[in-house]
A and B are shown apart, each in its own frame.
Chain A
Amino acid sequence: MNKISLIIRREYLTRVRKKSFIIMTLLTPFLFALIFIIPMLVMSNEDKDFKKIAVVEDGSDLFTNVIPDTRDTDFEYLSGVRLNDIKDNFSEMGYYGVLYISPQIVTTPDAIQLISRKQPPIGLLDHISGSLEKEIEKQKLLAYNIEDLDEILRTINTSVRIQTIKMDESGSTRETSTGISMALAYIGGFLMYMLVFMFGSMVMRGVIEEKTNRIVEVIISSVKPVQLMLGKIIGVALVGLTQFALWIVLTLALVMVIKSSFLPEGTLEQMQQLPQSLAQADQSMQGAGASTMTAEQLTEYQELFAGALNQPWGLIIFSFIFYFLTGYLLYASLFAAIGSAVDNETETQQFMLPVTIPIILGLIVAMGTMQNPESSLSFWFSIIPLTSPIVMIARIPFDVPAWEIALSMGLMLVTIVGAVWMAAKIYRTGILMYGKKTSYKELWKWLTYKG
């Protein structure tokens, strides 16, 4: 068997068999799955929780039946009941909370109180304030004595949603969702940062282990130092890809299992039949009241769903794997060079800084990219090889011209060749040096050694 493949095999197998690898591989999908599942669980829980709210106006009855019931909340208008009568025992009476509307509401907007034992959901608050605002507006308008007021109000009732449609040079358009793109940019950029850092430093620790244990002195009587370094880098890369593939498979499987066992069927169908629900939602939007909220929510989901489907998934996955491999190769060779230059892990600090700064800078710019994907800062950082893996991954969901991706990838490949060459030179000398603290001057000397 070829020697370098022997090294790759050892590096791969020893890491894949480690307990920490197995635990990481099994636990992380749970975290990922939670990210997907929690919003769904929250949504479905809200639906299940039926609330009854007592509306008290302290004598007046201006707002009786103004707030319509929603799917999960009923409003009971208690005439002749004062706030103080019910304040202390609404819970025992079966109410979720007491909505107190003071007679001053028309002049002072904060004259409303919702008293409850639990934190009320934001949707409920929106619903209450929305209904009341509408009613107060109506009362105020009524004071002007306009004829056919109801008719006018119905016709001016408008709802505005912005649909974002991207158009490329050829004129074909695509509906996109900024929300989905942002989420993808965030997840992609952060994951890239994490993976490159994690596996890069795994290589460094491996190199330091071999150096401090003097294993390398034995092994270089069998193979060239460069072979040992490349074998390690490639072996760890395969570990990374294995872990990555397992994460995807396990996460998908978990999401399926949790979805089908924990979520009520309704939610699932709702999610799956979004296009159909849109039609219903549009209809129900005409009739104000009970289903307004749900209809708006559904429209939003529909947009998200369409946006998600319209993402360039092929490109995203391809470039993620490309940038993971190349970004890893770039940083792993730098980390390997650092590992070879020091005697133990604590000494790595002085050389780590110049390597970590670009990674962290990349992450910061990538997060900014989510706000403004076309800024020149994002552009340059997605072209420059040290930051491009993280920043470009964050830009791709927002559509990047093909030439920019090609330029960034090309530069990356060239840089890797340079970085591996450089790392090999430092490694070759550093791995056999002991006892003296290495300086940057020393590193430069190793780099420029001939042969």
Chain B
Amino acid sequence: MALFEAQNVTKRFATQTALDNVSINVPEQSIYGLLGPNGAGKTTLIRIINQITAPDSGAIFLNGRPIKPDDVYNIGYLPEERGLYKKMKVGEQALYLAQLKGLSHAEAMRRLKYWFKKLEITGWWDKKIEELSKGMQQKVQFITTVLHEPKLLIFDEPFTGFDPINVKQIKEEILFLRERGATIIFSTHNMGSVEELCDHITLINKASTILEGSVEKIRRDWAANEFNIIFEGEVTPAGNGHFSVLNSLFEAGKSAVRIKATESGDTNEIIKAMTAAGKVVSFNPALPSMNEIFIRVVETRNREAAKN
């Protein structure tokens, strides 16, 4: 069942269209990625979900019914530009925001202690926000976003400013939150995180959707009929009517070979040819990374647009 749905949302600003007939459908307890190059309209869509701005046309549904102003209390929002009082102390500020969300003082303290310990920032409680680095501020903001355990979480570029270790930590927390029942929408142009995290994605470019669906399916759809084979020892299979060899590399007693099936190529025939060539360790279809897909789709679209 869809926890959140946007139908044919259009938003125009004075000089440009920010969103053109965009629809998304976010299943419950899933992680949904909003992808797209800078300025594609991701943040505008998020602001519409948060009811910060209203769409010019289109409808927004939460739990199957049109969204109400009060629904915003059940949404946790991490804005791209971090929203914290610079002069306030970390603990005090987190407590304030938690109490505004309706948590009691005691409950807020309990949860804050839990999260501060979990993200290893207990020592920052009495520091001012302006004394923290960008990544540190972001951890604080992450906690204040998830603390009241909202059903729907929206992260706008949650990984900018983090080092790889913290990215990993936050990724784990996001997966953990999904386990606990949260539905998560996050926008990013960092494709690496998409493969690991997202169940579904929508790729927005220049205000419209150009790719949409589950990550698995998209990668398979965009597979270029290529395979990776690893052989024991130095082996280079010879190409035939079913496939051609793209490259091969012998290293540490194993050969990594990449082949491309021809138009009429038959997978069974290819496998036969491989087993004939040597001892096969593994045989995998080479799925393109989301990053490759992203670049290919966006570039194709832009080229088409340039032609017209």
Contacts and interface: CB of A to CB of B under 8 A. Distances in A.
B89 to A, nearest CB: 10
A216 B99 CA distance: 15
A222 B97 contact: yes
A219 B99 CA distance: 11
Interface in A222-255: 222-223
A174 interface: no
B100 A3 contact: yes
Contacts of B96: 6, 10
Given A1-B99, A3-B100, A6-B100, A221 B72 contact: yes
B81 interface: yes
Nearest to B52: A432
A125 interface: no
Count chain B CB atoms within 10 A of each CB in A1, A14, A221, A436 and give the residue with the most: A221
A364 interface: no
B73 A214 contact: no
A42 to B, nearest CB: 43
Given A6-B99, A6-B100, A436-B14, A221 B75 contact: yes
B144 interface: yes
Contacts of A213: 81-86
Nearest to B72: A221
Contact of B73 (A18, A217, A222, A436): A222
Interface string B40-61: 0000000100101100000000
A405 B75 CA distance: 50
B189 to A, nearest CB: 19
A221 B85 contact: no
A218 B79 contact: yes
A214 B81 contact: yes
B86 A218 contact: no
B115 interface: no
A24 interface: no
A221 B49 CA distance: 11
Contacts of A215: 83-85
A215 B93 CA distance: 11
A214 B75 CA distance: 16
A235 to B, nearest CB: 12
Contact of B87 (A6, A14, A219, A221): A14
Contacts of B171: none
A219 B100 contact: yes
A368 B102 CA distance: 53
Interface residues of A, number: 21
B77 interface: yes
A58 B99 CA distance: 90
A216 B97 contact: no
A24 to B, nearest CB: 16
A209 B14 CA distance: 26
A214 B82 contact: yes
A214 B101 contact: no
Contacts of A432: 52-53
Contacts of B85: 14, 209, 213, 215
Interface string B63-95: 000000000110111010111111110000000
Given A6-B96, A432-B52, A216 B83 contact: yes
A1 to B, nearest CB: 7
A35 interface: no
Contact of B72 (A6, A14, A216, A220): A220
A320 B178 CA distance: 58
Nearest to A221: B72
Contacts of B75: 221
Interface string A407-441: 00000000000000000000000001000100000
Contacts of B102: 3, 222
A277 B260 CA distance: 116
B237 to A, nearest CB: 57
A215 B77 CA distance: 11
B52 A220 contact: yes
Interface in A102-146: none
Given A3-B100, A222-B97, A222-B100, A214 B52 contact: no
Contact of B77 (A6, A209, A217): A217
A20 to B, nearest CB: 11
Interface in A18-73: 18
A410 B238 CA distance: 98
A10 B85 CA distance: 11
Of all A-B residue pairs in the complex, the 10 with the closest CB atoms, nearest first, are: A222-B100, A214-B83, A215-B83, A218-B83, A214-B81, A221-B72, A214-B79, A432-B52, A217-B79, A222-B101
14 contacts: A18-B87, A213-B81, A213-B82, A214-B79, A214-B82, A215-B84, A217-B50, A218-B77, A218-B144, A218-B145, A219-B100, A220-B52, A222-B97, A223-B100
